[in-house]
Structure 1
Amino acid sequence: MNHDDPRITGEHVRSIDTPTGTVTLVGVVHDHPASVFRVRTLISGRDPDVLALELPPLSLPLFERYAEDTRTPPVFGGEVSAAIQAAATDRLVGIDGPTPRFLRRLVATLYRDGDSLTTAAGVLTRLASVTKSTLRCRLACALAARTDVRLEVDSPATYSTDRTDSAARQAENEGHQIARARAVMDAFEPSRASCFSDEVRESHMAHRLGRLRHDGDVVAVVGRHHLDRVADLLRDRLGETASS
């Protein structure tokens, strides 16, 4: 592994040591070539016992299908299928919602925090959209299992760089994407429903990773904007476990 490669710097990686193994969180920009390279390189180098992905469990089989591609990286599925293709382990886990446990957490948090009906309606609208996307993934996987058809459920994001460009150019462009997203967040304050949904998702993912750490070394691939929050929540969770 070339540790001088700007695509795999510590800026995008958080490692948390536990008594049963190391949890490594890898932050990604969806479909970006620098992120695809990062997950492939880190997963191959660390050879984790568990690969955790920011996906609903119901969506995971579709990306496993994408990862069966003979091309490297796979044509479909972006950094997720690239991560699966690079992993030697068969222990693949989707750590995002919706799941029954996630829904219980969502309802309990809404009730506990006493958010307004407007926030609740916004959260449920976002949940319905995610659930619809998850079901499309499941149907696409069922189709792929019965035919040779491979469907890209969501249109892949495109950038002014690709994997044939230099490492420096890819890393620079990815940095611009991250900075632009932060600038938009700063200029246009996200709705309470959007923030609430992210908070519940991040809490759920940290909880899942806290349980998965008992299975050995874990590499988790998450959106770059979730990286620090999930890492902090996981450290807090491990601290509480150690002191209890």
Structure 2
Amino acid sequence: MNRKQRRAQDTKSTPLKSAEDIPLARPDFTRPTTKTLYEIAAERQAELNAKAGKPDTNSGGIKPENVVHLKIGKDGQIEPQSPSPNDTTTPESASAVPETPWLDAILLATSLSAVHFTLEVLTVHQYAQDLHFPPIIRHTIFVAWPTLIAIIALFHGLLFPASFTRTIPAQILLLRQIVYVAIANIAGCYLINVTNDKGYYAVMKSAPGIGTIWVWSVLELGLFGALAGVVGPGIYAWWNDYGIF
């Protein structure tokens, strides 16, 4: 009898005093005889289906359509709850809401304000006007930047209740994309018309703002949606024989 066997035999008669007194043995990898939580949940689901008069089609596992929705009432009792028929949100629409929406809106408005500042400087310089940067900077900070934040917050749903912005329905997302396409085409066509047919004063007053709105709407559409935002201005320029250069 070796040392391990003697130690294992001694532990049967004497109580364990330290970790060295525990006999060494391989773990038991055989299937447990008791029911697992998954099997208990499957049996419970089968019981609920039987009470509701539904056939037991959950032999291969718990299916999402067989999940019973419950809620806690005012008196603390558990009550059944059916999913809302008007709930048409999708995982894609829920994940489309960023974690820091206001910070994203401020950063986007800041970038677009830089675009507005650049366009205003270019339009003033185009017509040989004296460049006075203080009024341009004031107009960008106190007019363009707050206006862009308000527009972006409105279209991103930040001015609505939090329950609405938490999960945006798919219909609202589609309608918003259609509005972006319309704004991009209208702003692009109007920008081409102003820069080609209007006087220098109208260009200096309108081109920076309209150009910034056009850039913003194209950015919101994404890569493939941006193509729909430039089709209208392209056709408008071709129809009126506006040259590129």
The alignment's TM-score, normalised by the length of structure 2, stands at 0.27
The alignment's TM-score, normalised by the length of structure 1, stands at 0.27
Higher RCO (C-alpha 8 Å, min separation 6): 1
Which of the pair has more CA radius of gyration?
2
